[in-house]
Structure 1
Amino acid sequence: MSGISPLALSDLAVLGALSTVDGLDGEQVGKVVAAPPIGPGMTLTDDAVRRILIRLEARGLAENHSRGWQLTKRGRTLWATKGGRFTL
Structure 2
Amino acid sequence: MHRFAAFLTAALFSTSLWAMHCPADMAKIDGLLKTDPPSDATVLAQVQKLRAEGETLHKAGNHGESVKVLGEALQLLEASE
Q: TM-score, normalised by structure 1?
A: 0.24
More helix by share: 2
More strand by share: 1
Q: TM-score, normalised by structure 2?
A: 0.25
Q: Which has the larger radius of gyration?
A: 2
